[in-house]
A and B are shown apart, each in its own frame.
Chain A
Amino acid sequence: MNVEPSVRVEDKLYYNRYLVDVGHPHVTVREHTTPSPQLLALLKVCPARCYELNDNGQVEITVDGCIECGTCRVIAEPTGDIKWSHPRGGYGVLFKFG
């Protein structure tokens, strides 16, 4: 039951249009040595899989594919693990259908 069908999120994001604000990430992760349970949850719950573990076991974010749902903010902003804002006006995901 828990076996995931092999889903490649990158393929899904490829359908979308983005205007990436290079050098201005709208979500950032606080520096840490060991990730909190909240940060670890983001590895799975982010629908665009923006969060990844690096080689040192820390959680990193790449916002380019972010679909701006706000889920990570709900989970990990209260603990101070992340800082979350909207992208600057006009940047980010551009839904054609929505």
Chain B
Amino acid sequence: MIEERFDAIVVGAGMAGNAAALTMAKRGLKVLQLERGEYPGSKNVQGAIFYADMMEKLIPEFREEAPLERHLVEQRFWMMDDRSHVGMHYRSDDFNEERPNRYTIIRAQFDKWFSSKVREAGATVLCETTVTELVRDDHERIVGVRTDRRDGEIHADVVVLAEGVNGLLGTRAGLRSRPTPDKVALAVKEMHFLPRETIEARFNLKGDEGVVIEAAGTISRGMTGMGFIYANKECISLGIGCLVADFQRTGQTPYGMLDHFKQHPSVAPLIAGSEVKEYAAHLIPEGGYKAIPQLYGEGWVVVGDAAQLNNAIHREGSNLAMTSGRIAAEAIAQVKSRREPMSTKNLSLYKKMLDESFVIKDLKKYKDMPTLMHTHSQNFFLTYPQLISKALQNFVRVDGTPKVEKEKATLKSFVKARSWTGLFGDACRFARAWR
């Protein structure tokens, strides 16, 4: 057993763990952070859109040194059927600002940098160390962790579980249940390298400007899913994800869907001639507010993806991870400064502070969305995209059909596919879940 005792042990060096370790180390706590990867980031997968605001709260001057890719000046939403896409693009020169709001990043590189800041703040970071178990005392309090190193038991006043979506330790210790197939999505992703100038020409960018595309529709073959295409400096991140339950039900393969997406006539020209340098897969928490487990207890808190804090509608996760990590750390530092024990009662401060933040407020707003998308996936991801594409094609194609007849035909196709009550019901359900 390692004799040294710590104020806090943080499991995981992803966004949540790094935010927590940094915040506690800055407040003078004695922090040990354990990461199973060869280096922080070597196990982590993200699109990745990165939100500046949440990082500024941790490292205000991060823009000067962090490995950022492009600042986003444009967002595209594509609704796709097999041969076309209907798009909404928002681009503004306002995003070419001194302190841009969103960037693309490459997680393995970013996490490594973030971790260097954690070390600078005074935390001890130990990589290549898998935590295998949480250690309890006779009173069922969590008092430390066991690792796969020899003499691997280490003690601390509090353990911060920042172990990501799989939450293996939390499950093994009975603190939470295992994620279920209807509450997590499996995403697969490739990194496509191209010369910088080619990317800038294809996406209409200059300098470090960036653009991201979010895509939905028949690409997910009637399953609840989304595709994404994000421009980095010299590569394009491209991926697609669907609920695990849907994969299980349909027998579709994730790599088959990915390649189908890549071959779509709207996508193929963007990546033509690229060199693929990595293929990755990862789960994403999709259960929303209703899937959040117990967040604290005797000697422990859980943060980030491990707490299922992920906003699937807005594709935000890293910022919820950073924020929950920081808030948990602040709560722990407060308890510590009062010289009180890390008890369930005292650590409930974390939940209280989190409830007041955007993290829980946003998840609460969309609490009914995951179920709606899942139970009506055929309509939202297959039928509507096809109908809308058909309607627009009908609108733009000039073929001598009188406009009145064209409009009638469009309306008829909608009613035929979904019926009046179906259309009305979908609209109401959607509005209610969005509210």
A residues whose Cβ falls under 8 Å from a Cβ of B = 1, 4-5, 7, 9, 12-13, 15-16, 19, 41, 44-45, 47-49, 67-71, 73-75, 77-78, 84-90, 92-98
Contacts and interface: CB of A to CB of B under 8 A. Distances in A.
A90 B36 CA distance: 6
A47 B109 CA distance: 23
Given A5-B263, A16-B278, A73-B168, 20 more contacts: A1-B221, A12-B255, A47-B254, A69-B186, A69-B283, A71-B186, A71-B281, A74-B179, A86-B130, A89-B128, A89-B130, A89-B147, A90-B37, A90-B38, A95-B107, A95-B108, A97-B235, A98-B46, A98-B107, A98-B111
Nearest to B44: A98
B247 A45 contact: yes
A13 B279 CA distance: 6
A74 B191 contact: no
Closest 9 CB pairs of A and B: A90-B128, A98-B107, A12-B279, A47-B281, A98-B108, A89-B128, A70-B166, A69-B281, A4-B256
Contacts of A73: 166, 168, 178
Contacts of B184: 74
Contact of B260 (A5, A15, A69): A5
Interface of B: 36-38, 41-46, 48, 106-109, 111, 127-130, 132, 147-149, 165-166, 168, 178-181, 184, 186, 188, 190-191, 221, 235, 244, 247-248, 251-256, 258-260, 263, 276-283
Which of A16, A78, A86, A89 has the most chain B CB atoms inside 10 A of its CB? A89
B223 to A, nearest CB: 12
A89 B127 contact: yes
B279 A16 contact: yes
Nearest to B262: A5
A49 B252 CA distance: 13
A73 B244 CA distance: 11
A29 B57 CA distance: 45
Contacts of A85: 132, 168
A16 B165 CA distance: 22
Nearest to A69: B281
A44 B188 CA distance: 14
Contact of B256 (A5, A67, A70, A97): A5
A77 B45 CA distance: 23
15 contacts: A4-B253, A4-B256, A5-B260, A7-B253, A44-B253, A45-B247, A45-B248, A67-B279, A69-B282, A71-B186, A78-B178, A90-B128, A95-B42, A97-B108, A97-B278
B256 A7 contact: yes
Given A45-B253, A69-B283, A89-B36, A12 B43 contact: no
A5 B259 CA distance: 7
A47 B185 CA distance: 12
A84 B179 CA distance: 13
Contacts of B48: 98
A39 to B, nearest CB: 11
Given A15-B276, A95-B278, A47 B43 contact: no
